[in-house]
Amino acid sequence: MNDFNRDKEKDIRDDIAWAQINKDVLQSIDKPRSAFWQLFAFAGFLFAIGVGCEIYQYRVGLGVGNFDNPHMWGLYIASFIFWIGMSHSGTLLSAILHIIHADWRKPIYRFAEAMTTFSLMTAGLFVMVHLGRLWQVYYALPYPNERWTWPNFQSPLLWDAMAIFTYLTSSMLFLYVGAIPDFAICRDNATGWRKNFYTVLALGWMGTDRQWRNFRVSYMTIACFLIPLAVSVHSIVASDFAMSQQPGWHITSFPPYFVAGALYSGCAAIITLFIVLRHTFRFEEYMTFPILDKIARLTFAIAMVWTYLNLIEFASVWYGHDMYSKEVLIQKATGPYSPFWWTMIFCGSVVPFALLSKWVRANLTAMMIISLLLNLGMWLERWMIVAPTFSHGYYPWTLDHDQWPSFVQWGIVLGSFGWFGLLFMLFCKLVPSVSMYEVKEMVYHRTLARKHAREA
Amino acid sequence: MSFSYMLQDWTKYRSTHPSGDLAKDHPEYKWAMAIDLDACTGCNACVVACYAENNLPVVGKEKFKHGQVMHWIRIERYWNDEDIETPHQGAQFMPMLCQQCEAAPCETVCPVGATNHTPDGLNSQIYNRCIGSRYCSANCPYKVRYFNWYNYPEQENAWPDPLPMQLNPDLTVRTKGIMEKCTFCVQRLRAAQSTARTEGRLVKDGEVTTACAQACPTGAITFGNLVDPYSKVATMWRQQRVELHKDIQDKDRNGDNDGVRGYRVLEDLRAYPSIMYLERIRDTKA
């Protein structure tokens, strides 16, 4: 075996000292590579663009986004679904893989969970940006008030608001509870203001048996609670469309289709961030190639589920009797949106086949490009759900194939990536993005297994 | 705000599928319309009347081109190439306004309940409650809801001086970020209903009408109370054998619709619109 292959197959060392793990992970908080600050500045720049566009839109009105009568929704709702989708991977990795005892998730689940929380926050922003009267957003919340008015509990948008808030609070709890033992390690090693910061966050964690037992139970409970939430939240987002009457939206298979798409884009985003973190924080020892290999396989499997559900949708529309839906489908494939629609098919269903190659799965550059392409495809998918139905609905007088989102809409979409990036990177700087205690656990279990194998 | 308040039956303020018994669904009034496309000349008088009555802002050429116009009633023009030799050169007109559906798709989806069903069968819009999610318009098959993309009243071409003096005081001027649509001139209806109630009677047929029906020079638009069997609009619906609670009319199902012209737009979507159109009689030769 040559050096290249040995490097590609190397997993976390069994004999790594626990102190070494602490040292490696803690230095990520202290001094990341300069790429970190460059990315941070870039994210800040994007965010500034988005904020500028939003201020302009808030003052002048939504018309500056170039909406019009049939095109009532645009990139905001498309990006909203995209960000909600991104949030699913964290739960998949941390909660689902946690209860099925998939060991390999341990070094990477922390940042996947952070991704969940921050992409939900980003999605929430899009709800606000989308509204015509942002200053009245609280009308959508069921709070007791002297006017005796309630929101409309029949509306899928209200279900959305509730599902997202529930998911957001639960995922934040999950993220926080899971990080308490690591906060304690940070507390023990930090100095200055950081010491106080981590002391508060660690909640007096001493690592006693009793604490560990309570910790295990609560962590498992939240994990079990989170899994149905993750499924329900994107099913409800799908209901925004499936419950409506419009051609191209009124499709029964939308909820599972949305959930599959969500897991898909989430996995792709995990690969992207995996590579970025591995470099900027010098996590080569922990974010190893075998782990990347496993996420890549998982991504491929989900990509095929997504492709299958896509085919089901096309087939049921094509062979159904609803001529309006059929026209929308034909419009997607041949109309003004066709370049984007075919790009989506290519990125979502063809590109993942590259993951079948072992060489690709072990090549960071190739994986980076592929994961970005997959995410591009998934963003386009959301846009292709929203826009073509508006351009080609039921009523012939209002067919409008020419409307194009203005720079304000594009600017805010870019800004959302900046906002997500800022939050995420700030998190990685303050909280260990590799779970130290879980990695130790993993190493310990492996040593134990090897010992048993030797003795047997 | 009390718990018992939450438990009250609010469903009557939401659209429901009509039961078939009009008197039960609407004890007093069910406002409806009949539009005779054969009488419509496409003169746009109804549109102008609507602008004047309902304080609709003029958005200007640029925004009109962007599809950000606020006409609650629009005259759609279609061309029939086969009729190009006839005097009307194949032009066909279709006044389109909110169909005031009985089971309105827009009502169920509004997150804040800003659009509701009134007991007299109107699809109402509460401007103050609207937060501008635009879900109602997304779900409207006719796309007859109009959104205030800008702060139109403050734009120079909406009502240049001294036009603000002619604004109708019976209803508001809408601000940016909210949805609006045809109300069947609800301010007129409420005034007439109030007068009638004071006098201890129901509104008589012809006592109140919408601005568009009033302005139509050819009398193409008939407005009235469908519950009153002797009203003009109810007579027309009956003559055309169009029933409010059917998603496919019996005459169409049985194929015996010769000589009757009444139909409703996109009836099969089961929104039960309150506007009946009378098909155009095409003169094949001049």
Q: Which tens digits make up the pLDDT trace of A394-424?
A: 998 988 888 889 999 999 999 999 999 999 9
d(CA A278, CA A281) in angstroms, rounded, equals 6
Residues A271, A371 contacting (CB under 8 angstroms):
yes
Distances (CA, A) of A381 to A74, A81, A161, A265, A387: 13, 10, 22, 10, 10
Mutate which: B6, B134, B150, B152, vs A, most A CBs within 10 A: B134
pLDDT band at A312 (very low <50, low <70, confident <90, very high): very high
Q: What is the pLDDT of residue B207?
A: 93
d(CA A400, CA A388) in angstroms, rounded, equals 9
Q: If you average pLDDT over residues B159-187, what whole number do you get?
A: 91
Closest listed residue to residue A379, CA positions, set A261, A276, A293, A272: A261
The count of domains in chain A is: 1
Distances (CA, A) of B157 to A61, A397, B146, B153, B165: 17, 26, 18, 9, 15
Instruction: Scan for tokens 């800003």, then name that residue.
Output: B114
Cβ pair B6:A150 closer than 8 A: yes
Omega before B162 cis (within 30°)?
Answer: yes
pLDDT-above-70 percentage for chain A: 97
Report the length, in residues, of chain B: 286
What is the CATH classification number for the domain harbouring A87? 1.20.1630.10
pLDDT band at A385 (very low <50, low <70, confident <90, very high): very high
DSSP state of B258: T
B129 in contact with A at a CB cutoff of 8 Å?
A: yes
The structural domains of chain B, with segments of one domain joined by +, span: 22-278
Q: Strands, E, within chain B: which ranges?
A: 31-36, 74-79, 91-96, 115-117, 123-125, 145-147, 179-181, 221-225, 262-263, 275-278
Cβ pair B137:A69 closer than 8 A: yes
- Asked if residue A11 belongs to a domain, the reply is no
Q: Strands, E, within A242-337: which ranges?
A: none
A273-309 core/surface letters (b: 16 or more CB in 10 A; e: else): bbbbbbbbbbbebbbbbebbbbbbebbbebbebbbeb
pLDDT band at A46 (very low <50, low <70, confident <90, very high): very high
Where do runs of H (alpha helix) occur along A131-246? Answer: 156-189, 193-202, 209-242
Closest listed residue to residue B106, CA positions, set B77, B147, B53: B147
Task: Round to the nearest angstrom and report the end-to-end CA distance of chain A.
Answer: 28
Distances (CA, A) of A116 to A167, A219, A222, A422, B179: 9, 16, 15, 14, 34
Q: What is the pLDDT of residue B50?
A: 95
Residues 6+ apart with CB under 8 A from B56: B50, B70, B71, B72
Domain containing A423 equals 33-142+156-455
d(CA A14, CA A23) in angstroms, rounded, equals 16
Q: If you average pLDDT over residues B185-212, what whole number do you get?
A: 95
Minimal Cα–Cα distance from A413 to chain B, Å? Answer: 18
**Token pair listed for B244:** 């409010």
Residues B37, B93 contacting (CB under 8 angstroms):
yes
SS3 A433: coil
Q: Quick: pLDDT tens for A85-102.
A: 888 877 777 787 777 777
Q: Quick: pLDDT tens for B65-75.
A: 888 999 999 99
Give the residue with greater pLDDT, A449 vs A342: A342
Question: What are the DSSP calls for A12-33, one per residue?
Answer: S-TT--HHHHHHHHHHHHH---
Q: If you average pLDDT over residues A221-225, what whole number do you get?
A: 88
Instruction: Scan for tokens 């240049």, then name that residue.
Output: B160
Q: What is the pLDDT of residue A223?
A: 87
In this predicted structure, the answer to whether residue B122 has a pLDDT above a threshold of 80 is yes
**Token pair listed for B275:** 């506007």
d(CA B124, CA B130) in angstroms, rounded, equals 12
Give the residue with greater pLDDT, B85 vs A58: A58
- Mean pLDDT for chain B? 89
Q: What is the pLDDT of residue A226?
A: 87
Q: Pick the residue from chain B with its C-alpha nearest to A157.
A: B111
B40-59 core/surface letters (b: 16 or more CB in 10 A; e: else): beeebbbbbbbbebbbbbbb
| Beta pairing class for B275-278 and B31-36 | parallel
Minimal Cα–Cα distance from A108 to chain B, Å? Answer: 37
Residues 6+ apart with CB under 8 A from A368: A271, A272, A275
- Asked if residue A4 belongs to a domain, the reply is no
In this predicted structure, the answer to whether residue A329 has a pLDDT above a threshold of 80 is yes
Cβ pair B150:A400 closer than 8 A: no
Mutate which: B65, B107, B133, vs A, most A CBs within 10 A: B133
Question: Does domain B22-278 match CATH 3.30.70.20?
Answer: yes
- Asked if residue A150 belongs to a domain, the reply is no
Q: Pick the residue from chain B with its C-alpha nearest to A155.
A: B109
Nearest to B5 among A71, A134, A148 (CB): A148
Give bridge partners of residue B36 from the DSSP assignment. Answer: B278
**Token pair listed for A164:** 């997202």
DSSP H helix total and E strand total for chain B: 10, 10
Minimal Cα–Cα distance from B208 to chain A, Å? Answer: 30
**Token pair listed for A354:** 């590259």
d(CA B179, CA B86) in angstroms, rounded, equals 41
Give the residue with greater pLDDT, A164 vs A2: A164
Instruction: Scan for tokens 């989170």, then name that residue.
Output: A226
Cβ pair A139:B112 closer than 8 A: yes
Nearest to A155 among B6, B135, B146 (CB): B135
Q: Quick: pLDDT tens for A177-189.
A: 988 998 998 888 8
B182 in contact with A at a CB cutoff of 8 Å?
A: no
pLDDT band at A227 (very low <50, low <70, confident <90, very high): confident
Q: What is the pLDDT of residue A1?
A: 39
Residues A251, A313 contacting (CB under 8 angstroms):
yes
d(CA A221, CA A214) in angstroms, rounded, equals 11
SS3 B278: strand
Q: Quick: pLDDT tens for B223-282.
A: 999 999 999 999 999 999 999 999 889 998 888 888 889 999 999 899 999 999 999 887
Nearest to B269 among A61, A156, A245 (CB): A245
**Token pair listed for B37:** 């496309």
SS3 B262: strand
Q: If you average pLDDT over residues A293-307, what whole number do you get?
A: 92
Distances (CA, A) of A29 to A276, A449, B96: 15, 32, 63
Q: Tell me the chain B residues in contact with residue A245 when contact means C-beta distances shorter than 8 Å.
A: 105, 139, 141, 269, 271
- Largest Cα span, chain A: 80
d(CA A299, CA A316) in angstroms, rounded, equals 26
Cβ pair B113:A398 closer than 8 A: no
B178 in contact with A at a CB cutoff of 8 Å?
A: yes
In this predicted structure, the answer to whether residue B221 has a pLDDT above a threshold of 70 is yes
**Token pair listed for A72:** 């009532």
- Asked if residue A17 belongs to a domain, the reply is no
Amino acid present at B49: A
Inter-chain contacts counted by CB atoms under 8 A, chains A and B: 145
Q: What is the pLDDT of residue A2?
A: 46
d(CA A405, CA A391) in angstroms, rounded, equals 12
Residues A66, A403 contacting (CB under 8 angstroms):
yes
Closest listed residue to residue B66, CA positions, set A313, A413, A404, A281: A404
d(CA A184, CA A192) in angstroms, rounded, equals 15
pLDDT band at B286 (very low <50, low <70, confident <90, very high): very low
Amino acid present at A452: H
SS3 B125: strand
Residues B262, B241 contacting (CB under 8 angstroms):
yes
Give the residue with greater pLDDT, B284 vs B82: B82
pLDDT band at A193 (very low <50, low <70, confident <90, very high): confident
SS3 A305: helix
Nearest to A395 among B69, B141, B179 (CB): B141
d(CA A211, CA A181) in angstroms, rounded, equals 10
